[in-house]
């Protein structure tokens, strides 16, 4: 009979047999914005802790913002103010660390980002390249501080990075700690594509340099493995595909049959949008489609309900979309519900008949789609990025050609007119997410990845000896 490790996994070469697995998870804040990657990282760490893993969630750049209990430590490394000043102010990088460490205080960084400081890639090209250069960049002092702190902790078995863009410290960490390195790729291409040249090309070159030092890359879809493998020249066998999952606990109590009974007697139908209000999320595409739809006969009962994070730098964009609907005579047909907290998000997704976030970019994740399906709300999504694989695996929605408002309007109208089809999609998607896309699935898959990486390392070391 096989024995079990402290994490509950079957004993395996490379896994610690007499203590919990130790993991440091380096996440990346998004300047006060609700960020899908932050939420995903935070959820995963909570799941790993519940499974008995000794894991620390360590923010970089800025504190993370999540709509569930924050699992991160109360410190920030590679703090956004310090790394920015090191890049922009001559001589700043040579100042002693004790003179500048106060700039990494989470409260100060939150205050700075509250004034509208953002992380737009177009303004951060040189800084991105410098950070990727690691000890050879202007942020050497900050990378040394992170490596030194890690050396004071119980030695981790695995250091897990939320993306490769913060991977400039990988050589230093690997040399100092001798641990395994896992990197989740979940939007690196979007940031890279926003960089101006020559910074984009230089950043890709630096990432290619770092890639061989990574023991395993994790992605949420075969699409993204192919995309990032092509961009960074990473062989397919070095990827682990772990389909996207969420914490479904808040959604499990929803009474779906009661919702369906309400639908049968309610005269109103509501299209929902739940994502940050930004061009890449396709709010303007949905507004175009909504205007098309409302010009059709028999659509007086259809409304649009919008919710999500609205940054200061996107307020003009959002107001432009709202004004377009007002100019079309639709002032009473739409509403902006603001930025809901966790409980309000679940209530929002329950209150709509369909969710539509027609992203203009190839989204590698789409947490909003899983959350909608978990609430029993069908989705209408563009047929690119991770969405075709997601719906093929889980059902619960329809795919439409990207950036085609007229076609989108037609599909939305058809689904809103067919209660039986929507209820069928609702049940199928919800059951699939609750059974196959919850936190236990993510935790188990991640532990299996760690076990595989550590076992491979153990075999290599045994062969050498």
The pLDDT, as a whole number, for residue 29 is 84
CA distance 112 to 353: 39
Instruction: Provide the number of structural domains found in the chain.
Output: 2
Whether residues 311 and 233 share a domain: the answer is: no
List, for residues 195-226, the tens digit of each pLDDT value. Answer: 999 999 999 999 999 999 999 999 999 999 99
Quote the domain boundaries for residue 225. Answer: 22-245+440-464
List, for residues 21-65, the tens digit of each pLDDT value. Answer: 999 999 998 777 778 889 999 999 999 999 999 999 999 999 998
Whether residues 325 and 290 share a domain: the answer is: yes
Whether residues 140 and 98 share a domain: the answer is: yes
Whether residues 64 and 147 share a domain: the answer is: yes
- CA-to-CA dists, residue 148 to 100, 111, 151, 403, 420, angstroms: 16, 27, 5, 48, 60
| Per-residue pLDDT at 174 exceeds 80 | yes
Across the range 311-339, mean pLDDT stands at 96
Whether residues 217 and 363 share a domain: the answer is: no
Per-residue 3-state assignment (H helix, E strand, C coil) for 210-258:
HHHHCCEEEECCHHHHHHHHHHHCCCHHHEEECCCCCCCCCCCCCCHHH
List, for residues 145-160, the tens digit of each pLDDT value. Answer: 999 999 999 999 999 9
Closest CA relative to residue 228, chosen from 350, 385, 98: 385
Token output for 228: 């990032």
* HSE-CB for 153 with a 13 A CA cutoff: 22
Whether residues 239 and 354 share a domain: the answer is: no
CA distance 461 to 426: 50
Whether residues 184 and 208 share a domain: the answer is: yes
Whether residues 237 and 293 share a domain: the answer is: no
CA distance 402 to 404: 6
Look over the chain and give the mean of its residue pLDDT values, rounded to a whole number.
91
Token output for 113: 């980002």
CATH code, domain carrying 57: 3.40.50.2000
2 within domain boundaries: no
- CA-to-CA dists, residue 441 to 149, 368, 436, angstroms: 32, 18, 7
The pLDDT, as a whole number, for residue 158 is 97
Q: Contact, 394 vs 373, CB < 8 A?
A: yes
Residue 31 or residue 281, greater confidence: 281
Whether residues 332 and 455 share a domain: the answer is: no
List, for residues 126-139, the tens digit of each pLDDT value. Answer: 999 999 999 999 99
330 within domain boundaries: yes
- CA-to-CA dists, residue 403 to 282, 382, 448, angstroms: 8, 8, 38
296 within domain boundaries: yes
251 within domain boundaries: no
Whether residues 142 and 289 share a domain: the answer is: no
Whether residues 321 and 372 share a domain: the answer is: yes
| pLDDT band per the 50, 70, 90 thresholds, residue 319 | very high
The pLDDT, as a whole number, for residue 34 is 76
The pLDDT, as a whole number, for residue 3 is 45
Whether residues 263 and 301 share a domain: the answer is: yes
CA distance 458 to 465: 11
List, for residues 92-121, the tens digit of each pLDDT value. Answer: 988 888 889 888 898 888 877 766 555 555
């Amino acid at each position: 009979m096989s024995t079990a490790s402290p994490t509950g996994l079957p004993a395996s070469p490379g896994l610690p047999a007499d203590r919990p697995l130790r993991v440091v998870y380096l996440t990346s804040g998004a300047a006060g914005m609700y960020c899908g990657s932050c939420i995903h990282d935070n959820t995963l760490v909570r799941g790993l802790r519940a499974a008995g893993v000794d894991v620390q969630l360590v923010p970089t750049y800025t504190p993370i913002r999540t709509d569930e209990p924050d699992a991160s430590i109360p410190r920030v490394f590679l703090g956004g103010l310090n790394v920015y000043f090191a890049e922009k102010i001559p001589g700043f990088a040579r100042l002693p660390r004790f003179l500048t460490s106060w700039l990494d205080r989470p409260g100060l960084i939150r205050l700075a980002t509250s004034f509208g400081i953002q992380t737009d890639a177009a303004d951060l090209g040189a800084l991105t390249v410098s950070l990727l250069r690691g000890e050879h960049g202007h942020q050497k002092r900050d990378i040394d501080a992170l490596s030194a702190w890690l050396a004071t902790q119980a030695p981790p078995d695995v250091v897990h990075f939320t993306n490769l863009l913060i991977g400039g410290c990988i050589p230093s960490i690997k040399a100092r700690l001798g641990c395994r390195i896992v990197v989740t790729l979940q939007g690196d291409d979007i940031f890279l594509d926003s960089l101006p040249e020559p910074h984009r090309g230089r950043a890709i070159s630096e990432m290619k340099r770092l890639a061989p030092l990574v023991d395993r890359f994790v992605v949420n879809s075969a699409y993204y493995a192919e995309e990032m493998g092509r961009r960074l020249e990473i062989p397919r066998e070095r990827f682990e595909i772990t389909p996207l999952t969420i914490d479904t606990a808040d959604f499990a109590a929803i009474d779906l049959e009661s919702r369906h009974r309400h639908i049968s007697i309610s005269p109103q139908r509501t299209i929902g949008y739940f994502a940050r209000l930004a061009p890449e999320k396709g709010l303007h595409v949905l507004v175009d489609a909504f205007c098309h739809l409302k010009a059709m006969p028999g659509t007086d009962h259809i409304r649009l309900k919008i919710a999500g994070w609205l940054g200061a730098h996107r307020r003009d964009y959002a107001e432009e979309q709202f004004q377009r609907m007002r100019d079309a005579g639709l002032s009473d047909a739409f509403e902006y519900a603001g930025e809901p907290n966790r409980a309000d998000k679940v209530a929002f997704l329950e209150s709509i008949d369909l969710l539509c976030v027609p992203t203009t970019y190839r989204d590698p994740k789409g947490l909003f789609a899983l959350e909608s399906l978990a609430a029993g709300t069908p989705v209408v999504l563009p047929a690119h990025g991770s969405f075709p694989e997601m719906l093929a695996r889980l059902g619960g929605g329809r795919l439409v050609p990207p950036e085609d408002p007229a076609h989108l309007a037609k599909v939305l109208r058809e689904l809103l007119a067919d209660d039986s089809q929507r209820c069928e999609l609702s049940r199928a998607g919800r059951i699939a997410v609750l059974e196959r896309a919850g936190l236990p699935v993510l935790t188990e898959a991640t532990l299996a990845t760690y076990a595989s990486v550590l076992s491979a390392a153990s075999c290599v070391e045994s062969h050498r000896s």
